[in-house]
């Protein structure tokens, strides 16, 4: 005869499931709102690297470099950085482009995230 007490069932309660699903949905919504800002930062950095490695741009004037950035930014739909906000420097013979900009990402109501980006052509 088995006189052992039956063990309690274990598992996820319905309220625990709803709480977990709510957290997952909240994190997903925030992530989906942040993706465009990070993608645009990657595009800006890529344009900086392409311009800095272009042999024609090594001896170009700052005005010509900014025009080149403007044309490439128009193609990619970049609006976060204007050509006159680009810092242009020389590291020896190498061209270094950088910028510093902020992005405000609205989440819900009066709640927003404020992101700071500093893309550079310097690896």
Give whichever of 3-12, 42-51, 89-98 has the largest mean pLDDT: 42-51
Is residue 81 within 8 Å of 73, Cβ to Cβ? Answer: yes
Please state, in angstroms and rounded to a whole number, the distance separating the CA atoms of residues 23 and 72. 39
pLDDT at residue number 28: 93
Does residue 1 register a pLDDT over 70? no
* Mean pLDDT, all residues of the chain: 90
CA distance 113 to 103: 8
107 pLDDT band, cuts 50/70/90, is: confident
* Element containing residue 28 per DSSP (H, E): helix 14-53
Using an 8 Å Cβ cutoff, are 97 and 48 in contact?
Answer: yes
DSSP state of 120: B
So what's the pLDDT on residue 35?
95
Q: What is the pLDDT of residue 93?
A: 82
Mean pLDDT, residues 103-122 taken together: 92
- 78-82 contact pairs (CB < 8 A, 24+): 78/40, 78/43, 78/44, 78/47, 79/40, 80/37, 80/40, 80/41, 80/44, 80/117, 81/44, 81/119
pLDDT at 8 over 80: no
Contact 83, 61 (CB under 8 A): no
The per-residue pLDDT for 43 is: 95
- Per residue in 72-105, pLDDT (tens digit) is 999 999 999 999 999 999 888 889 999 999 999 9
């Amino acid at each position: 005869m088995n006189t052992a007490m039956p063990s309690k069932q274990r598992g996820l309660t319905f309220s625990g499931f709803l709480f977990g699903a709510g957290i997952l949905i909240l994190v997903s919504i925030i992530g989906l709102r942040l993706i465009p800002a990070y993608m645009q930062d990657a595009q800006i950095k890529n344009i900086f690297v392409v311009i800095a490695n272009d042999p024609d741009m090594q001896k170009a004037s700052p005005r010509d470099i900014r025009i080149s950035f403007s044309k490439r930014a128009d193609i990619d739909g970049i609006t976060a950085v204007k050509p006159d906000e680009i810092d242009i420097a020389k590291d020896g013979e190498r061209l270094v482009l950088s910028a510093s900009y902020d992005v405000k990402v609205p989440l819900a109501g009066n709640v927003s995230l404020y992101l700071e980006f500093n893309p550079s052509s310097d690896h």
